[in-house]
A and B are shown apart, each in its own frame.
Chain A
Amino acid sequence: MVMHLDMNSYFATVEQQCDPFLRGKPICIAGKGKNERTVCAAASIEAKKFGVKSSTSAWEAKALCPDIILVPPDFEKYQFISRKVFAILEEYSPTIEIFSIDEAFADLSHIKTYTEAAVLAQEIKFRIRNEIGEYLKCSVGLAENKLLAKLASEMQKPDGLTIIKRHHVKDILDKTPIEELCGIGSRLQLRLNSLGIKMVGELGAYSLENLIQLFGPHSGKHLKQMGQGIDSSPIISYRDFPAEKSFGHSYTLPKDISDINEAKKVLLKLSEKVGRRMRKAGVFGKTIHVYLRFFDFTGFGKQASGAYLQNGYDIYQAALKILESNPSKRPIRLIGVSVSNLKNARQVNQVLFLDKQKEEKALNATDKINDHFGEFTIFRSSLVKIKDRIQNIPDGRNKRLM
């Protein structure tokens, strides 16, 4: 048996927990300060009634709901609460899989009946309210596998508890639109819709041969199983999570920019953040990837490989070459940089040149100061003007919370 726990309207509810004057009001978590072009990271239950949802832009949210209150995000706070929630969940299960900052699966194979599991779910819900915050709500799904448990938790929001038993699976899947199934994105939905598949049950009844022909042997078989509510994927504990394969950061600019010098500064700050995380993890990387999103949501992405790097400035210089190769003059909306093809520091031939050694020493000293006093206490002078911007970039993947 598997439990899926999903915190409802998570970031918004946390803010409503911290500020009771926001409770019962439409709020959305969007950007920092008065930057209205950012997208909503979360909408409160009240804001959702107006059609505001995650990924709605802040200006669009204001158009849908003029009284909406924009609250800047505080990712450290959200991560703090997530760790507390997952720690409670872990007391009831030998294995929990952190699916995102506000969702987790728990292995309940040691529980014999759904009734017993439901009692346990109610206890977890009570403890979250009692020990973390009385305004925090979650929806829980119980089923025989992860796919169905997640579907179950989506069925009753907020504060739901839904069980999908084996003999109900067919009825439920027949009535469930395919886009509600985890793993069916908008493009895949359109493709399946064009085949006349609208409901999950229709996907399960569709010819396997046709699905394999259209989507390939692996995906075709996987889709067929999803349509039948079959999922044999294991619950992967965060303790067994594989090492990170890349480090990256991106930033949506407050205003579209056409000035390459502005873009360079943002790229430098992002590269410094990436380099800092790589040094903390003790890895070097040789493939630099830069991606740009333009004002019209078209994009540019390119990668290049060279020497193994870890210094933020070296990453920046490699990234800059890619940035400068961007043929488009369109105003830039988002800039991102990532480093992959990682190697442990011990496996990389370290620099021997004297000037490089001096730079490495300076970098180590900088890291020590920032370790002691906090990030960006000491930084490159070229970042002075943008130091206070781009502060709110959550670190890495949220599956590594614990």
Chain B
Amino acid sequence: MEQIKVLAKFNLDKIEIAAFSRAGRSYKITRQNFVHHFREGDRTIFIFHVSDEANTYQLRFEPETLKWFLVED
């Protein structure tokens, strides 16, 4: 898992991801396909399945630390 920077809009009860960057390159998100969450110990972890024009990515958001990670691409 790689920590990344994310540009997101907190829209009422939804988080909409606009873009993320890793290794100096930014990726513009065109689709948010699905969001789910699960418990890891006593923490809630959110997983965002998002796509750009070429690929799908899984982004992990940890609300406790406000950190974002790229799970896979």
Q: Which residues of A contact B (CB under 8 A)?
A: 14, 17-21, 76-77, 80-81, 133, 370-374, 377
Contacts and interface: CB of A to CB of B under 8 A. Distances in A.
Contact of A17 (B33, B40, B42): B33
17 contacts: A17-B33, A17-B34, A19-B33, A19-B56, A20-B31, A76-B36, A76-B38, A77-B36, A77-B47, A80-B38, A133-B33, A371-B41, A372-B41, A372-B42, A373-B41, A374-B41, A374-B43
A76 B47 CA distance: 11
Question: What is the predominant secondary structure among interface residues of chain A facing chain B?
Answer: helix
A18 B49 contact: yes
B28 interface: no
Interface of B: 31, 33-34, 36-38, 40-43, 47, 49, 51, 55-56, 58
B36 A80 contact: yes
Given A77-B47, A371-B42, A372-B42, A20 B37 contact: no
A372 B37 CA distance: 16
> Which secondary structure dominates chain B's binding surface?
strand
Kindly list the 3 A-B residue pairs having the minimum CB-CB distance in the complex, ordered from nearest. Answer: A18-B49, A374-B41, A19-B56
Contacts of B31: 20
Contacts of A76: 36, 38
Contacts of A133: 33-34
Contacts of B37: 80
Contacts of A17: 33-34, 49
B36 A81 contact: yes
Contacts of A374: 40-41, 43
Nearest to B56: A19
Nearest to A134: B33
